[in-house]
Amino acid sequence: MSAASPRTLPLFAWSLVAAFGTYFCMYAYRKPFTAATFAEFTWWGVSLKVVLVTAQVLGYMLSKFIGIKVVSEMPPQRRVVVLLALIGLAELALVLFAATPPPYNAIWLFGNGLPLGMVFGLVMGFLEGRRQTEALMAGLCASFIVADGVVKSVGARLLSAGVSEFWMPATAGLLFVPPLLLFAWMLAQIPAPSPSDVEARSQRSPMNGSERWHLFWRYALGLSLIVSAYTLVTILRSLRADFAPEIWQGLQTEKPSDDVYGWTEFAVGVLVIVLAGSTVLIRNNRTAFFVALGLATGGTALVMLALLGLNQNWLDPFAFMVLHGLGMYLPYIAVHTTIFERLLAMTRDKGNMGYLMYLADSIGYLGYVAVMLVKNFAAPQGEFLPFFLGISWSIALACLAALLPAILYFWCHPATRADATTRLGLASAEVRL
């Protein structure tokens, strides 16, 4: 390691700050444009904002499919250089978006989403396979929960300062260049997992195509159920994130403050990270795996509770958005932090989280694109809030229908009857005897 390496700093804190900061900054190149409404522009009767959101999500979705191969095969030493190149391309696309008249500039938001979809997997590669992975991944996930609201607030403030709706996204990205470079440098200093990490969580290595297929087919039904639930919460999370101004306008008559997006997502982020990250305290991989599945299932119940509370006037808009966000993000974050991490650690199968996460993400964003196309082109008119509340009910119920059988499947699967780390420890003890 170089002389500038973080030997004198606690590795956990260094890694957490580096991952959180890098991915937080990435959001400044993806989400600020959603703070604008683009209300003066339409295309074939559809609002320009809907066209722009759909275009970016199409690029982001395609990026996830590309990432199944690229991220799972990426050598560790190339991650940071590729990461910075991808974000640079995304910022260039935002500049071209501002310079191109609407609605033709939508193509540049497709180009903006195309590189950004692979950034998460590159950052995640520095964190997986460690005894502190859940806590580190929780911090990484906190970055996109909090950043989603904060960069919208940054975008709203730029609009209030007189920056046009079309130049605001590129301007917001430029503001985050210095911290992005700092945090990316910090990522590059993180050492590989230690031998004790490998013993506790298994070796993580790049995967070829046949290895990816082998891992999927070994747990095909269980993984399909988890991916189905993840797809549903991805749809809900994306709708909530991309149309936050429209949701808030439906919840309250007055215009929401520029900072409301950041405050609600900050509250959600703190609660989710404490709950999901606490699984790092569970040493047994099998126990942690099923606890995470239980948290995911409980989250869907919280979404229904939030919807019921709003319907019965038990909750004000802020409390509703916090409780809804907590319930929605629990299954979403449990997949990111614990479910796939502990599945690999429990079974000792060859693989990495990059493959499993990008398998889930690619299907998740494909589902979101399908919902966007159906909703906005089949029935583009009307307020957004009733649609959002209705789909929240449907998704919460469908997630329960997927997660409960998934728990039963993995509970009964021969490869998950016991923690493989425990089996290896018992075998070692027998050899010593």
430 confidence band (pLDDT: 50, 70, 90): very low
Residue 274 CA to residue 44 CA, distance in Å, equals 46
pLDDT band at 22 (very low <50, low <70, confident <90, very high): very high
d(CA 166, CA 98): 5
- At 311-360, the pLDDT tens digits run 888 888 888 988 998 999 899 989 988 999 999 999 989 888 989 999 99
31-35, 278-282, 423-427, range with the lowest pLDDT = 423-427
pLDDT digits (tens, 9 = 90+) for 271-322: 888 888 888 889 899 999 999 999 999 999 999 999 999 988 888 888 898 8
**Looking at residue 14, what is its pLDDT?**
93
Q: Strand pairing partners for 43?
A: 46
Q: Determine the pLDDT at residue 342.
A: 92
Residue 388 and residue 324: Cα distance in Å, rounded? 11
CA distance 17 to 400: 34
- Extract the tokens encoding 414: 């021969």
Kindly tell me if the per-residue pLDDT of 86 is higher than 90. Answer: yes
**DSSP states of 363-405 as a string?**
HHHHHHHHHHHIIIIIS--S-HHHHHHHHHHHHHHHHHHHHHH
* Measured distance CA(304)–CA(394) in Å, rounded: 10
Give per-residue pLDDT as tens, 201-257.
888 888 888 989 999 999 999 999 999 999 999 999 888 877 777 788 888 756 656
- Asked if residues 330 and 296 have their Cβ atoms less than 8 Å apart, the reply is yes
Is the pLDDT at 110 greater than 90, yes or no? yes
CA atoms of 306 and 312, how far apart (whole Å): 10
pLDDT of residue 3: 38
Residue 83 has pLDDT above 70, yes or no: yes
The tokens for 105 are 């500039």
- Mean residue pLDDT of the chain comes to 86
**Binning pLDDT at 50, 70 and 90, where does residue 268 land?**
confident
Tokens 């997660």: give the residue.
403
Does the CA dihedral 65-201-277-82 come out positive or negative? negative
How far apart are the C-alpha atoms of 29 and 176, rounded to whole Å?
A: 9
Angstrom distance (rounded) from CA 408 to CA 391:
26
**Rounded to 5 degrees, what are φ and ψ at 47?**
-60, 145
pLDDT score, position 46:
66
Specify the pLDDT at position 431.
33
- Tell me the longest C-alpha to C-alpha distance in the chain: 78
| Predicted pLDDT of residue 237 | 85
Q: What is the mean pLDDT of residues 189-210?
A: 87
Predicted local confidence at residue 421, as pLDDT: 57
Residue 253: the pLDDT is 55
User: What percent of the residues of the chain are helix, what percent strand, and what percent coil, each to the nearest 5?
Assistant: 75, 0, 20
- Report pLDDT digits (tens) over 36-67: 877 676 666 667 887 888 889 899 989 999 99
Query: Tokens 């509703």 label which residue?
Result: 320
CB 124 within 8 A of CB 140: yes
What structural domains does the chain harbor?
12-421 (1.20.1250.20)
According to the model, what pLDDT value does residue 433 have? Answer: 39
| Spatial distance between the Cα atoms of 363 and 365, rounded to a whole number of angstroms | 6
What pTM does this model have? 0.79
Spatial contact of 291 and 357, defined as CB atoms under 8 Å apart? no
Asked if the model's pLDDT at residue 123 lies above 90, the reply is yes
Q: Please report which confidence band the pLDDT of residue 102 belongs to, taking 50, 70 and 90 as the band edges.
A: confident
